[in-house]
Structure 1
Amino acid sequence: MIAHAMTIIVNELNHHLTETYGINANHAPAGLRNISSEQFLPQPGAESATEECLNLTLVNIQQDSSDRNTNLPSRDTSGTIYQTPPLSLNLLILLTATHTSYSQALLMLGRAMRFFHVKPLFTESNVSHASLTQYAPENGLDKLNEFRFSFVLHSPTVEENQQLWATLQSAQVPSAWYKLGLLDLPPNAQKTKELPILERRMITNNVIKS
């Protein structure tokens, strides 16, 4: 589900950039990339990384505790049903512009940030069919069918930003942090049932009443 959610976001961003700014569709301006790998490290004599692209990199995963009690037991005619609660996650995404030209990097980063500001919410009904299918996972269990997730700007402290780039072991490039709020129900969620209560008894003055 994580891979498909991030793929949908990248597909939507690329569609926006090619349609709005006339960028060649054969050269996808954005992609899922690990910027800590060697191919993105600055080369000798270069001011920035060598890849001319926008990159979305997953840097942290947290469980969203606010949704921990949203799936309380429900009652039907056969008893009380207990179901595995949905998996609610907050993904911290680093958006970077690794262009050799610093001004071009700032330009592309600003375009992407403008897009996400206008469209911070993604559902199966407001994204294109191509965004759902292009580069989607092959296994159906890894795909998102009905979904609703947010992609909003996250403002780190100076210390957090410095720690992240030190961890990535990469020279800092124009970037922005985003938080992806994702809710997903595991495909093989287990359910258990309890028999319904057919009779209640109370003890009053040592006498049992039905």
Structure 2
Amino acid sequence: MISHALTIVTSELNRHLSGHYQSEHTVVTQARLGNFSEGFSSSPSEVEIIRDSIYLSVVNIQEEKTLKNLPHYSVNNTSLTTTYENPAVFINLLILMTATHKNYAAALSNLSRIIRFFQFNNVFTQDTVAPLSISNTTIHELDQLESFKLIFDLYSPSLEEVNHLWGTLGGKQYPFVLYKLRMLDLQFKAVQGQGGVVEEVVTNFSHTTR
């Protein structure tokens, strides 16, 4: 589901870049998913990071604590049944977006385009994205999102956090921006039990002695 969520957003970003910056004289930078610590490659067929691209990488996953104590059951008032299942896990993702251009000015231009894209469109749902962005995937159907609301907020790290981040990724810093993606709910649909609905609670017990 994490992969599908980021695939959807990457497709929307590429659609925006192609629609607004493509011309017969320019080649629009492509956004891709990738682990930035893999290193660089000159060939798109190789696994490593490719130059002159925008890469989206997950650098941290955090649980949303405010939604941790949700009920573990749901009630169907029509059939008068109660279904028991573990509640979903809600997570926030910290997304590193890096411009890998050799030309520094081009890298900064593409960072500006990313920031402006999320400035005017920071909420993605199944009703607002292009259908092709959702369906254009090879991800297993159990790992695909059915309904979603993905919210992107600009994240401003301290210099210490920046130093630690790039030290973890290999030590060499590239033009980048960080966004917090919230809120993704992960749940495997498995019913753990069913029962009837409690309709009445009797409290006026009487005790008879012999």
**Alignment-mate amino acid for residue 69 of structure 1:** N
Q: Per the alignment, in what secondary structure is the counterpart of residue 95 of structure 1?
A: strand
CA distance in 1, matches of 2:197, 2:53: 59
Q: Which residue of 2 aligns with 1:147?
A: 148
Q: Which residue of 1 aligns with 2:126?
A: 124
1:5-58 C-alpha deviation (Å, 9 max, x unpaired): 001111000010011011689865210121111227xxxxxxxx9711111011
**Alignment-mate amino acid for residue 111 of structure 1:** R
Give the C-alpha shift of residue 121 in structure 1.
0.5
Q: Which residue of 2 aligns with 1:167?
A: 168
Contact 2:29 2:54 in 1 (8 A): no
1:153-206 C-alpha deviation (Å, 9 max, x unpaired): 1111111111000001141111111111133352423242344445524457xx
Instruction: Pick closer, same or farther for the CA change 1:139–1:102 going to 2, 3 Å.
Output: same
CA distance in 2, matches of 1:172, 1:199: 64
Q: Which residue of 1 aligns with 2:94?
A: 92
**Alignment-mate amino acid for residue 102 of structure 2:** T
Q: Which residue of 1 aligns with 2:45?
A: none
Unaligned runs of 5+ in 1: 41-48
**Count of residue correspondences:** 197
**Alignment-mate amino acid for residue 141 of structure 1:** L
Q: Which runs of 4+ in 1 moved over 6 A?
A: 24-27
Q: Which residue of 2 aligns with 1:66?
A: 66
Q: Which residue of 2 aligns with 1:82?
A: 84
The TM-score normalised by the length of structure 2 is 0.82
Aligned counterpart for 1:102 among listed residues 101, 104, 112: 104
CA distance in 1, matches of 2:83, 2:159: 47
Once superposed, what is the RMSD of the aligned Cα atoms? 2.6
Q: Does 1:21 align with 2:17?
A: no
**Alignment-mate amino acid for residue 59 of structure 1:** V
1:139-166 C-alpha deviation (Å, 9 max, x unpaired): 2111112111112211111111110000
How do 1:16-55 residues align onto structure 2 when only pairs under 5 Å count? 16-22=16-22, 29-39=30-40, 51-55=51-55
CA distance in 1, matches of 2:176, 2:131: 29
